[in-house]
Structure 1
Amino acid sequence: MPPTPEPAETRTRRLLAWLGAALLAGGMPVHEVEDDVRAAGSALGRGAVQVACSPTGILLALGPGEPSTFEAVEGGLRLDQLADATALHAGLCTGTLSADEALARLSTLRAQPHRYALVGLFAGAVASGVGIALVLVPSWPSVLFAGLLAPLTMLLLVLAGRSPTVRTLMPFLAAFVVAVAAFAAAGQGLVDAPLWTLVPPIAVMLPGAAIVTGLTELAAGSMVAGTSRLAHGTSQMLLFALGVGAAIVLLRVPGEDLLPTRVVDLGWWAPLLGVVVVTIAISLLESVPVSLVPWLLLTVLATYLAQWLGVSLTDALWVGAFLGATAASLVSTVVEFVRPQLPRAVAFLPSFWLLVPGSLGLVSVTGLELDPDRAVGAVVGVTIIVVAIALGVVVGASLARPLRAVARGVGLVALLRLRPGRRRRPGTVAVAEVRSAGEDRA
């Protein structure tokens, strides 16, 4: 007996659920994913789609009173995979891609191999540590320390992608190991400001983006998703701080090594060079095609310059954070308009690496553990900065919404010519597994 064909309603419901889960796995805020899924549903002739998203899943029905389906988000996606998911959404919305083609591509999305494989992962880890050190702690000892310790961080991420136990303990373990090395090096006079020097090697793991995205979702009215993401990011930050505190207790670190002062030994060029190196790191870690790296650099550089300008003119970190987040939203939309192969979300998410709420948060929370009276003011300051970033994201997205609507309708042929679904080669490490372990950049 031939198999019973799948009803059209079931196929459409499964397609929209898979699409929404892919966008969520890429780190997009839930309210944006809900809007995108409704738009795709309307294009498929389902204008009454009901959808509710959380950071870990999507619940969807094609209309009131109709059957619903739930799709879980199992780990994160790389930026190149998020670009493919966004391309599929664009194709569905314009009718240039059939539902069957979209389903086939979504079914192989996670199987796409990382274009730079393990070598690219560890090279990207070294570049991220060096680049962030040039931005945060521009001194040669700190830069060298970050380059040496960053591969260890990546090794923990790879192990965490394969072991639930390591994944749970990873924030504590990474912070503890790197903090022990930083304070031991400071004790030998090899590095200064160890509290800041330990940040760059683990910055790729810090949950700053998760915390900011949670606040953005709260501001947009997504209360459940925003609260859960904010709580998760905060708990991860506490685990990192506990790891640093354990290293301090184990080594009996003297008080002068715990001062939250930054060392700036290099010139004005160091942070700019760091921005370039961080962009290269993002491209290697997230499997971004070489042709799109300059456009990614444009967005990241605009974010940094806007942040620097705000701090320089007002001497207020929160103003710089607000302007940087606003610039990231606007420039990423313009980039999508000019270069459709790089969707807005893909260009925007890496900017969180330079807004560094996670780095500031780790230093402040660690200070709470060591000296509560002195650190309360620092924690309040970081909270204001995080809120300013979230507000900048909301303002930038509001200003960019008309541009985004135009961008989604331009260059869709180029979008749909992105890499076809590729099968995973035996022995290839899926970076979605690595990202799910340190899954913060969202």
Structure 2
Amino acid sequence: MTASPDALTDAQTRQLLVYLAAAHMAGGAGAHEATEDVVRAARAIGLPGAQINATPDGVTLSLGHGAPATFESIEGSLRLDQTARVAGIQHGLETGALTPTAALDALKGLRAQRARFPVTGMYLGGFTVAAGIAGILQPAWPSVLFAAVASPITIALIRLTGRRLVPSALLPLFAGFLVAAAAFAAFQAGFITSPLRTMLPPVAVLLPGALLVTGLSELVAGAMVSGASRLAYGTTQLVMFAAGVAGASILLDVPPEAFANARVDEIGPLAGFVGLFLLTLGICFMESVPRRLAPGVLFVTASTYVTQWSVQNWVDAPAWGGALAGAFVASFSAWVIALARPTMSRMVLFLPSFWLLVPGSLGLVTVTQLGIDPRESWPTAMNATSVVLAIALGLVFGTSAARALRFTLRRGLRRRADARAASTLVE
């Protein structure tokens, strides 16, 4: 049973579908994925000719060739709880459980959906996320402590940006400068030994890792405009971060050896798994992840980390090998869970894994070293490039494998249904 579009006018139907497409894009989906989802929803309500052009800035949609078009701008990203609601609306439209009128009303109220912990969740989540990423990226007690103590700087800047007291365009610059200045001061005081990696966890929530990888995956999928714009914007953000770090280094007269990309492991392998739990817990606090989705998020992040860690430590593969395997598992497992339980959002399950794969951190290290000491930047640049490409390919391979599985299962179900119908006719 499918819902009828008759309850809405053509203009309202365009509004429904363009809102849905914009919500998918704001939730982190690639342009090709958002287009596929909305076309599927349009067909479910009896509109097979819908056409969509999605970019990170806005979506244009018409109901058919030569039909009027509607444009909707995209203003900021969605939290994961809001993204989960979008997945529920998508599923409701596809199955007919939600009428187009109800879906439109739900999308109109999406931005008004309040966070479960508006202030405490941000600071507590930022604290645990920073400590967790430090346990994975730089497992040394001074670095973990620094990450936890410095995390409120980033969260305070985010909140000031939301109140328009800090320009959003300058947020990476200010965050990079303040956290880097604190890290360099701690280095000069002898508290930490590797400031470049130590400063990354407190600003990790702002690094454009997902932006860069999504852009590459869009280019691979043929969404050229969206992919190129994401890559350009993500690279610009990295440059802004690096400018802040460079400014702090000049102000404090930091020696070049402070920019060595050195990993200090004082805690041991257990730090990574504890950091994984803290990271997932922090994401749930910051993004108001619904309780029913939290076990799924933990399963996907744990699978991603275990796969990446196993490939790099047991198989002794290079960093890009672990990133490729981790991205494949993250994408494939999120799709399979969403296939088994359609009301669970694959984006909510998948996006937190980007914080484990840390492409944004590697990019910031590369850009910073390039500005401070170009001789040391080339190996890091090659490593960062290979890792980002590997993550993008892993994402594409995992998604393709999951879609093939979905197609096979649906074809098997259709054949079984046809066989039952045929046997009923015979009887």
TM-score exceeds 0.5: yes
Partner Cα separation in structure 2 for residue 403 and residue 85 of structure 1: 24
Partner Cα separation in structure 1 for residue 7 and residue 83 of structure 2: 27
Say which of 347, 354, 373 aligns to 1:345.
347
Indicate the residue corresponding to 1:25 in structure 2: 26
Which AA in structure 2 matches 1:332?
Answer: A
Indicate the residue corresponding to 2:292 in structure 1: 291
1:192 aligns with 2:193: yes
Partner Cα separation in structure 1 for residue 409 and residue 247 of structure 2: 49
Which AA in structure 1 matches 2:167?
Answer: V
Shift of 1:152: 1.2
Partner Cα separation in structure 1 for residue 112 and residue 408 of structure 2: 31
Q: Deviations over 1:247-305 (max 9, x none)?
A: 11110112332211111000211000000000001100110123321211000011111
Shift of 1:23: 0.8
Which AA in structure 1 matches 2:41?
Answer: A
Shift of 1:8: 2.0
C-alpha distance 175-406 of structure 1, shift in aligned 2 (>3 A)? farther
Shift of 1:339: 4.2
Indicate the residue corresponding to 2:233 in structure 1: 232
1:52 counterpart SS class: strand
Whether the 8 Å contact between 1:336 and 1:407 is mirrored in structure 2 is: no
Whether the 8 Å contact between 1:15 and 1:103 is mirrored in structure 2 is: yes
Partner Cα separation in structure 2 for residue 29 and residue 238 of structure 1: 23
2:288 counterpart SS class: coil
More displaced 10-residue stretch of structure 1: 47-56 or 337-346: 337-346
Which AA in structure 1 matches 2:379?
Answer: G
Which AA in structure 1 matches 2:220?
Answer: A
1:166 aligns with 2:180: no
Whether the 8 Å contact between 1:333 and 1:403 is mirrored in structure 2 is: no
1:60-99 aligned within 5 A: 60-99=61-100
Shift of 1:245: 0.6
1:95-110 aligned within 5 A: 95-110=96-111
Partner Cα separation in structure 2 for residue 378 and residue 137 of structure 1: 16
1:314 counterpart SS class: coil
Q: Percent identity?
A: 46
Whether the 8 Å contact between 1:321 and 1:388 is mirrored in structure 2 is: yes
* Gap regions ≥5 residues in structure 2: 1-5, 412-427
Q: Deviations over 1:1-48 (max 9, x none)?
A: xxxx99621121110001111111101101000011111111111111
2:72 counterpart SS class: strand
Indicate the residue corresponding to 1:217 in structure 2: 218
Partner Cα separation in structure 1 for residue 166 and residue 317 of structure 2: 44
Shift of 1:173: 0.4
C-alpha distance 137-184 of structure 1, shift in aligned 2 (>3 A)? same
More displaced 10-residue stretch of structure 1: 113-122 or 155-164: 155-164
1:71 counterpart SS class: strand
Indicate the residue corresponding to 1:435 in structure 2: none
1:38 aligns with 2:39: yes
* Gap regions ≥5 residues in structure 1: 410-442
Whether the 8 Å contact between 1:337 and 1:407 is mirrored in structure 2 is: no
Indicate the residue corresponding to 1:118 in structure 2: 119
Partner Cα separation in structure 1 for residue 273 and residue 228 of structure 2: 35
Say which of 355, 358, 361 aligns to 1:359.
361
1:240 counterpart SS class: helix
Whether the 8 Å contact between 1:208 and 1:358 is mirrored in structure 2 is: yes
Indicate the residue corresponding to 1:371 in structure 2: 373
Partner Cα separation in structure 1 for residue 343 and residue 145 of structure 2: 35
Say which of 368, 381, 384 aligns to 1:382.
384
Which AA in structure 2 matches 1:38?
Answer: V
Q: Deviations over 1:81-101 (max 9, x none)?
A: 111111111111111111111
Shift of 1:243: 0.6
Shift of 1:402: 3.8
Say which of 326, 329, 336 aligns to 1:327.
329
Which AA in structure 1 matches 2:62?
Answer: A
Partner Cα separation in structure 2 for residue 384 and residue 275 of structure 1: 23
C-alpha distance 405-155 of structure 1, shift in aligned 2 (>3 A)? farther
2:293 counterpart SS class: helix
C-alpha distance 407-98 of structure 1, shift in aligned 2 (>3 A)? farther
Whether the 8 Å contact between 2:284 and 2:294 is mirrored in structure 1 is: yes
Bigger radius of gyration, 1 or 2?
A: 2
